[in-house]
Structure 1
Amino acid sequence: MNAQISFLEGTFTLIHVPLKTYPHLLQPIIRTLLPQTQSLKGSITPPDRERDGLTTDDQHSFLNVSVTPLECSIVCHSSWAANVFDPVIKALPKDVAKTISVSTDEYLVISVISAALVAHGFQLAQNDPNYKFKGHENPTVAPPQVTSSVSELQTRTFDLLRKNSVVPYMQEDLHLVQCSGREISHLNQEFSHHSSRRLGNGNSRPSWLDHVDTKLYTAMVSAFVSQPKFLSVTLAKEEPPSLLLDKSLLDIFGDSLVGDTEGELMPIFLDLSGLSYEATGIVCGVAGKLVADMETQGSSELSYLSTARAGAVILSTEQAARALTILKPMLEN
């Protein structure tokens, strides 16, 4: 398998928002989803756009906004966390603001591009001998014990989940579909065609709207405003938007989505609210263990979603029930 692996420029922040607090953060969420440079202080020239996690055509290099039955989670460039979310959080009543968690650590995002990715989990952490973090280090603090094998990492993962009484579960009435927006190259052809035919208004300044599907973005805003049961949107550089959503939301999006809208996926949820931010991504190890165990049954196709304080393993309806019977005994005390 050939894959292109690279680090995205800049650092990123995780934000956890309880569902009851979600309406208070809706404005900065929508403001971030629609990335006008005016949303950030001093973002006028292309170098500033790069600093703030935007491409030269004002697209996010990476953004994930997820609303699940457990939480709302945002992964955004640290500039957006500081300049868009922090002022709103600080203006909230103290009892509301304290329910929101913003990671004190900043994170890197790894881009993995391959036509045939295999569902194997991996972890890249500061205690990995092959990982060098260019930041502050305290030489007086001994490094934590290094995990020597995938098997040992999985053992520690499940020990941690059992210690914190994490119980996997499904919601029988929740069915998901995985879709995406249309290819950017296709959109550019459409926009060029329409631009050549329309009459100008004397203002030829380019806008980020020239490079996105406005129908799709309107639908995404409408869906987030409705406080959906499940909606995860990922925006990445040079890729069409990727959506994992409650199937009941499809009517909002009309024909702006492509993909298998007839299939049904079911999530197995893991509530990680009792764990620290350092456990972010632990669902990757759970998914990897499920892949290995389900391969013996001739079926192991799955995906997973890791949010700030929760995780979900996504499978077909038939596979989800089977996976839950495998997973529950592993997490029993």
Structure 2
Amino acid sequence: MNVTGSESRSLGRSAAAAVALVAACTLLTACSGSSSATAKVPGAPAAKGGGDAASKAIDQLVAAEKQADPSLMPAGSTARAIQERGTLNVGATQTAALFSLLDPTTGKVEGFDAALWQLLAKYIIGKPEAKLTNVTSATREALLKNHSVDAVFATYTITPERSKVVGFAGPYYSDGLALEVKKDNDSIRSLKDLDGKVVVTESGSTASTVIKKEAPKAKIQLFDTNTECLQALQQGRADAYILDQGILAGNASTNSDVKVLAGTYSSEPYGIGLPIDKPDFKKFVNDWLKKIEADGTWAKLWKNTLGTQVPGPVPTPPKIG
């Protein structure tokens, strides 16, 4: 997105600013003794998607995931260190329906990304133990650089610039930027209709670059989270919202007053953000992604999360690496 995608964040932030960002995010950290985090996010929409049946199917997938063979986690490796610690430190969001959304009725974080980090924790530790830290598009790199988290699962688009500071595993999913407007808005049908309009997106994503190119007269407003962008659109403070189609589809699935327009305007390969100085962990996670794609887990995961709202057959996962 977070997951997301929008204008690439400047990497020249001061060290003091980065530390402040990490401190602010760490205050939002929550621990879980089960397969999901229990931190509360004010204003987060209730999870819908595929309902109880889909949620139970995901729980079964996590329960069926076997721990990695010890030979894959030798002494001194990053995976072994996480196993010995007994918990996977995850950077994630809790406001992106279908990807990673807190269900306030159960305290569980559910969705495609959320299930992935539960599966990875189970693969490394033998049980889905994770310590969850809320991230935004603007704070992900700082948290990875400072090793506050082991991995970021947040619809994190892989770009050449980000790859200079982030050791991405994957991609594990490919999305594209799309537009969301109020349900009764028929005047905006494509990016070309955004000139002179107020358009919101997440700070730190790649969408701003696309807007400036296709609609240079658009007025861009940036917010830290999907929830803030959605609220600006719903309240009439913005005419349109541009972000990854999967995230916008999640918004529409939980909010009947907005709609996602047909068509995408980019290719957004999602990766799992890892510390760039842990190449052994990147290989480990890539090998795990290949495993869950080959054994059918990835397809079942898609069907019970994104597939509950996105029509069509299970897509072919993008080539890893």
| TM bin (shorter chain) | under 0.3
Normalising by structure 2, we get a TM-score of 0.27
Bigger Rg, structure 1 or 2: 1
Normalising by structure 1, we get a TM-score of 0.26
- Larger relative contact order (Cα-Cα within 8 Å, sequence gap ≥ 6): 2
